[in-house]
Amino acid sequence: MRLLIMGPQGVGKGTQAERLCAHYSITHIATGDIFRANIKGGTQLGKQAQAYINKGQLVPDELTNKLVEDRLGQKDVEDGWILDGYPRNAGQVAALDEMLGRLGTPLDAVVALEADRDILLERMAKRAQIEGRSDDNPETIKARLAVYEKETKPLLDTYEKRGLLVRINGVGSIESITDDIIARLDARTK
């Protein structure tokens, strides 16, 4: 199974991705992990990404796309994957379409976790306290949610038109949300 998991920051994408990977025996691919692995490994792509990160800049789409394609071509993802944190904009959707076409691995579904803004703000404030994450301060949280609303949320319409979108209420117990996702995904494959 090849999945995307999408939704705003704080909705539980990482948690649900890990649970789905365990259930379906597939690999969790988070773009942040791809960056870190390439930087730590000293790859050419990692060195290029590090140069942007060191300047406090976002890694450009062209480089991000290359890193993702390299990761999707590795042996451990042959039996399936869930991609978390990519695509984030329309250009990355087009790039992902081309990648998957070259690799001969079409998407099975796009899981969209949804929750009200107030709940997301509350969750991220709590996460900041528990994990001590400096990137979960009120200003940064609001900025990230605004970027999601402007650039990433519109991508859901693209996947809905393709018949790939599975919208999930991201509020409730972790277990009940996972059960809902699995039931909805399994129903699609029958």
Domains along the chain with CATH numbers = 2-188 (3.40.50.300)
Token code pair at residue 19: 């649970």
Q: Which pTM does this prediction carry?
A: 0.89
Asked if residue 126 lies in contact with residue 119, where contact means CB atoms within 8 angstroms, the answer is no
Residue 37 tokens read as 């692995």
88 is annotated as an active-site residue: yes
Q: 62 vs 132, which has greater pLDDT?
A: 62
Q: Is residue 12 within 8 Å of residue 170, measured between CB atoms?
A: yes
* Per-residue pLDDT tens over the stretch 158-187: 999 999 999 999 999 999 999 999 999 999
Has 123 been annotated as catalytic? Answer: no
Examine the residue annotation and report whether 66 is marked as an active-site residue of this protein: no
Catalytic status, residue 2: no
Selecting among 40, 102, 133, 150, the annotated active-site residue is 133
In this predicted model, what pLDDT tens digit does every residue of 60-95 receive, in sequence order? 999 999 999 999 999 999 999 999 989 999 999 999
DSSP structure class, residue 76: G
